């Protein structure tokens, strides 16, 4: 590599430029630090020494002196909220809201931050009041989304429907959520024997989402509560065309209706066909219990053994051992119980439902995830079935 003479001239020039830039930056920093209110520096000192209450007082005083520190107020308030110190976040943001010299944009931002503080603190009524004030402003969509969250937490489904319908639909479909809100209303109506109101709510749920399995399930429940088992069966059978994965949730309902109609064998044939087409551990369990009740232990054992060969699972093996205990000679039952106990200990880990959105696992099925709040994010399949899926 050849040495260029002009490099000797370039090195001093680069050094001089770097020195000059550093001097300019230092002067700018010193000038800005002198411009800051002394209370601002005092507040930082309190904050660094883990004295947040004294820091808040100092920062509030700094805002009174220099309006440019308003952004600092927002930043610190958000920091306190993220740390879970909602009382301190509320205090900082409330101080901003109470000021008279804020612009409309700053006041709306302060209100939105205060609403989030109340929401994080669980003060839903106060958060609601804040976000209602923000409707019709530039933060309208933000307010609506938070109001929707509040009304779902409060289970005020009528208000939730109103807010969801007011939300912008560009790129977001709210049909599933609104359909579930109507289903919640229908569920309460059925529980209180308000069948006409429940039927109307379910009609609206299906209008919003024709694939709503939950609406079909509740429609069947409504007809069954009225004593119309034939109509109930039609509603529950419709689930096969909507999403057959959910058939396990209505297996017991179907069998009870067929039993009341005196058509138990027809119901068992239907469940067998469902199990053949849509293998499911919950369907197997439901059919096993009815097979055991109607045909006896040997038939139930044969059912589980055939299904285990087709779809080998730990939960299926646990069910097979349960059936084997009923058919085995007395002298063999102790050994079978020992093996069943070992297998059952492992199946408890894989016998849960899992949310598709956040991965939260639960022993029972939910229409709305308790962790992330998503609707219909729990497929009615055990975690072992997901692990075995290709």
Which residues does 261 contact at the CB level (< 8 Å), separation at least 6?
A: 229, 230
Taking the CA of residue 323 as centre, how many other CA atoms within 13 Å lie in the half-sphere pointing to its CB?
A: 29
Q: What distance in Å separates the CA atoms of residue 191 and residue 227, rounded to the nearest whole number?
A: 15
| Backbone angles phi and psi of 365, in degrees to 5 | -85, 140
Q: How many other β-carbons are positioned within 10 Å of the β-carbon of residue 186?
A: 28
Tokens of 17: 């430029």
Q: What distance in Å separates the CA atoms of residue 115 and residue 129, rounded to the nearest whole number?
A: 8
Does 183 show up as a binding residue in the annotation?
no
Tokens of 353: 């439902």
The answer to whether the CB of 160 falls within 8 A of the CB of 152 is yes
The answer to whether the CB of 184 falls within 8 A of the CB of 200 is no
Pairing of strands 361-362, 353-354: antiparallel
From the annotation, which residues make up the binding site? Answer: 355, 358, 369, 372
From the annotation, which residues make up the binding site for Fe cation? Answer: 355, 358, 369, 372
């Amino acid at each position: 590599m050849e040495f260029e003479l002009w490099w000797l001239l370039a090195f001093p020039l680069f050094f001089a430029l770097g020195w000059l830039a550093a001097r300019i930056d230092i002067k700018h920093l010193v000038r800005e630090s002198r411009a800051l209110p002394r209370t601002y520096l005092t507040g930082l000192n309190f904050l660094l020494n883990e004295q947040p209450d004294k820091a808040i007082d100092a920062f509030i005083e700094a805002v009174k002196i220099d309006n440019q520190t308003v952004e600092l107020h927002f930043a610190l308030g958000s920091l306190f909220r993220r740390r879970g110190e909602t009382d301190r976040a509320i205090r900082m943001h409330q101080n901003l809201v109470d000021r008279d010299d804020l612009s409309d944009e700053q006041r709306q931002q302060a209100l939105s931050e205060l609403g989030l503080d109340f929401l994080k603190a669980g003060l839903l009524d106060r958060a609601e009041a804040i976000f209602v004030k923000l409707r019709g402003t530039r933060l309208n969509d933000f307010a609506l989304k938070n109001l929707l969250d509040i009304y779902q937490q409060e289970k005020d489904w009528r208000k939730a429907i109103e807010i969801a319908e007011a939300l912008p639909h560009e790129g977001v479909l709210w049909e599933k959520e609104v359909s579930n809100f109507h289903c919640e209303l229908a569920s309460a109506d059925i529980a209180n024997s308000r069948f006409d109101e429940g039927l109307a709510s379910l009609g609206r749920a299906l209008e919003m989402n024709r694939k709503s399995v939950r609406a079909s399930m509740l429609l069947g429940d409504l007809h069954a509560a009225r004593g119309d088992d034939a109509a109930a069966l039609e509603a529950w059978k419709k689930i096969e065309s909507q999403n057959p994965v959910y058939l396990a949730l209505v297996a017991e309902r179907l069998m009870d209706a067929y039993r009341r109609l005196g058509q138990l064998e027809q119901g068992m044939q239907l469940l067998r066909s469902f199990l053949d087409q849509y293998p499911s551990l919950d369907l197997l369990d439901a059919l096993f219990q009815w097979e055991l009740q109607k045909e006896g232990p040997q038939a139930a054992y044969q059912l589980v053994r055939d299904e285990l060969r087709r779809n080998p699972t730990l939960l299926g093996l646990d069910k097979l051992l349960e059936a084997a205990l009923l058919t085995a000679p007395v002298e063999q039952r102790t050994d079978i119980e020992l093996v069943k106990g070992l297998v059952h200990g492992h199946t408890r880990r894989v016998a849960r439902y899992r949310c598709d959105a956040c991965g939260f696992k639960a022993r029972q099925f939910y229409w709305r995830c308790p962790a992330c709040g998503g609707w219909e994010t729990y497929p009615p399949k055990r975690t072992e079935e997901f692990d075995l899926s290709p």
